Structure 1
């Protein structure tokens, strides 16, 4: 009963003073802050002080006749905010208490006033970089503490705003506040809903910067941060406006506690954003130091951790990055460390450099250091790499080997050799396992035991140790030489490295590093006699050739040419026998192949030297049967890409190897020699490609029976695909793509009502006559068309060939439309129209069909406003489609406001205005009417002005559509007129 009486007495005493009495009596606040109910009474006073300060500030902004009155009010504002901050300092700036009892808008005012005070800044700045924090830490004032408090408050405000909160009822008259609210005052808390929402929106806009700032603070290396308490805030001089601050009385704020609060708040925002990995990392960091801090601030920590574990029970192992998992395991038990390192040895998610950095962070000789060294050694052996620091790697080597699941023969040999060399350094348990063949799955069926070392005299023992060390040094040198040979592509370095291997009498090792392939390689077959007579020179040439092939595979053609030229130089001093002459000829073929591939890759067909070499090759190999098919294919495609029609038409070949590609090339050359295309040639090309993509059914006794030699001369579909992808002549590609699409439309989409357009469509048959006797490979045909579409995108079209590219894009659009891929078809159609518009060329005769197909695909995507605008591009606008589309689809998927300035048809504008009126969108209707009243849309304009206006709006429409479909995130093209209309719209609404 006595305690209750004391509480009631103190509450009545707090109500006996008004807020302005604290300004008149400086000691009154200190007496008030000593009461037991500090949390309730203190937060109530903060609310009153800051609200009245804001009310006085609003009145101060109004001009008055007495300037002294304004100055007095300014002093009153400064004093009230000073008192509010002094009470918050008494509460130790505890955000839990502040957020519990103070509205969000008042919290924002309190913390921002504190930041402006400590940073000596009138405006709010964004402190989020390390350099800015360093500058704040050099000042004696508690600026760093204030800034971190601000960022933590922003993060917590965003998180707490997502929780549903029941609104408390606030009455106009309250017995507790009858003294604080005098007659004529209205409780300001009744009108805090809108300011609170504005502050929350501000916090959401700045939350990314606050997260960045708190992440930077987590790496803070300073031991302590200073926190200002109530002793730092002295008395106020209300009349003069002087406020006394003494920052020397600040107390130390332990860094562990500060970083724990920061990590906890970061974990809550990550949990709110569903970034559970980062949230778990932050909460685990707080959990590790929670025993050092006795605070109620982390009351929800266990609940967060439990929720994260229920979301993903293996959060700690699977969702974290490998380096984070290993770092957590190192802080945990040795068993966790072993399991995590063994898993990484299997998955190899961490690089070897990152694994080596783990050793540098640990104490040398510790248990964890030995575990990491052992597993790093096993990882290096499995990767075929050399480790120099293996002193501490033997204690847990048996454990690391037992965790290895599977090895290949090469890894098995590496493990066997290492364990045999270092057998005496192994633990007794591991030696016993090797003797009993328990590790046969890792080192082979039989482990060759090293000879036992007898007890020797000291002199002999020292010499034996010296020879053993020398052998280890030689093994290490050989390992380095192997790595140098594998990774080097410089001819001089390669020759020197092979010489070093020859000095060590290890030339046989080259066959293991670079296995010979004589099955399908002509050059390596011709190298066999040279390897038998001069092994070293033969290995030079073979290794250089293998390196050149690898460089060519990665399209490093200049490097491949350099390697082959060096190989040819090594062959020139040798006796010119038949095998040597053939080998030199084949190397020249390879050099030509590299030059041609380089020119085709760069699409540079103007080099006369390359063409002369190609022409000589095609002329000289007419009767040779040993020419490489790859060189023939690339040479013919290079000639086609250059447009050498007369040369290709005149060339003759008696070689069966050349006939596969030459027959098809001659047909294409005959098509392009004359300006007019002859139907018999197109029919021959059609039959040739149809034979490639189909198989005739062979009937016994039938005249259609094919000879085996004819079947062998036939070009296969795979070789035709390779040949097609090497051609970069737009005319040839357009002809072949038109043929393939017509064949596709006949074989696959006979039931389709969409006619696939192409420039050469009229030259191809409409049906396959003997379709019953043929079996077209549908999958191969579809794959070739797909690859051809990708190939067309890589061709560099000249300015005079833009019309060809436009036609190809239109054909692609028709193909995508038949496959119901409406987004891709819309993109292709728009690009085709745009190329025609930019090139100022005449539209094709069936331009309306292109627009109607574009309208179909756009309608399927649900963009009805775009459909209505596209109908204007027709020669005769289709008002039936416009009216039906806009009338039946009230919920448009595209924003209608963005297309007002793309409309030049007044009938369409009237339909839009009527629909907006029916839907009740008065603001949008007013904006549309304002656009309709523009001078450009006046019906009395001259034809010249009207056509100019249509041309401008048409280009604007295409720009917006291209931006919608091609730019990321569907960003709309908004010209300057849009912002002008938007400004007028806002002005009219105001």
Structure 2
């Protein structure tokens, strides 16, 4: 680690001569400061670093060559007689004062740049920049240089100066790995190769690849050290000492270079923390850990906004803003970090065993800052950790929040409300009361509908209905609505509602809440909307069709959420189903629509029951129609597996994989299915690369994309260059999204 060789070509000549030669800075110690104080110095600071270090390498090579020539043996044929049995180890060759001066000049230029890695990375090649930083380490912390990549390196053992130079090196390692993942132009060199000689650009590129490969291997050590730095800056180290140009005296003819550490510049912990957080955030973003990346970027922006005059910290604000926007979109949180956000408070509560999480979610019910997927993750985590009481409270908070967005979750919480004690009911009514006091009119309407539905579905005289009627919630309802609340509370004709329950009380739905003022769940039409048993559905349809005279269109339009897949709808309207009466077609339509509705609500057992009934009816009428119904069952199974990662009874993964393959075969033979992309995605998730890559006649975009992806995954380990496969894959993506 201590020996750094700067790659260089042989016999290269400068393309254009600079206005000041490098050796002039050796002759006049004050010239460097005067030159760099100019507005646009020529050569630039980065060019000076390159010239000084490359010339130092040339001079050092000459010293080594001269030392080796002195070791040439005597006359030919003479036998050398060793004086000692044990040969002495060769002593390292000391650099000359000229070499030391050139290296110190390069370090002083870095000091004038205030160790701005972003500026140096643009103008200094990676091998030369590595030589500069290692030279800085050798001067400032010579005892640490050999253990620089040791993950056990203690931050507390470093001085303020050592903390700065070691963290600077690890910051550069992290930044180099991230930069290597993006296409960048190599740093242009001011030299042209002589014909027949090695191209210095090629030599430099090879050295760069070797360094980056080493950094990737040692990346965990750099990450650990920087994370430990952040902890130390909060407790042990209140600041760090940045070396300046005045710290390094030039060697004289009779004297060695002096190191004046009293001239260091003090850098606050906030500056270093902000800079480290930006670089670590970029690394976490590159690795796909967006939650950690967002946290680092948030801290970076918060601390940077507090800095009035930065000495060391330099952050690209546009890039920081882009990172924050990307993370906030991916995580579903607000990117505003001026004040501690609800997301920050929720994350802090998670670290403290969820202390105060309920109060945070109650606030979010009003501000609606957190994404529902994040809130759902909190709820699932509580369930996994068996914190059941807190889980129920968080679940109720999530239900109220979802209802304000127009998602009716009445049925999933019926059992909770039925069995709730007085404190739990008090909590729920308080949640609803807060919402009715502070939300918009449309959101209040959703909450009122939710309360009405809940009282309708609960047994008469339930504790919840009594709590609502005796609380201040009543003040948010008009007289007619209060009368309806009281009427629903005493209505005992609700036996048909026993069929409404969901098998998964934690499922989140996306079914919008709509309730007409004329809607009465005791009507026959209302019963049809709420029951899911095929026998009850048929009885209610007979009542509507035979006794009340409703035609097919009137029955189908009872719920605008009833949707039937296009292929099944066409079959029901085609001549293949002429054997069916109009009533049977209505019955099938409602069964299919309710099954699809249950799939949207993630009530998979109900959907399976309804679709099996459809399949049994159609099997006696049309094989094609029955086959289409079986495809809907397969879609339901795939959706259930995607949601729960489990298969239903009587099914297994090999069976689902086989059915998906049959589905793709049917599509490739010309039949139309509206959900073939789900089957493709499932086979990709199951790593069926061999099957997918062997497919032919894949004109469909999703199937072609899956085939190319499978081929790429299969061949990527065998082929060093996969540009053609990547281009074909991208072309397939374009064909999917082209209008």
TM over 0.5, shorter chain: no
| TM-score normalised by length of structure 1 | 0.34
Higher relative contact order (CA 8 A, sep 6+): 2
TM-score, normalisation: structure 2:
0.43
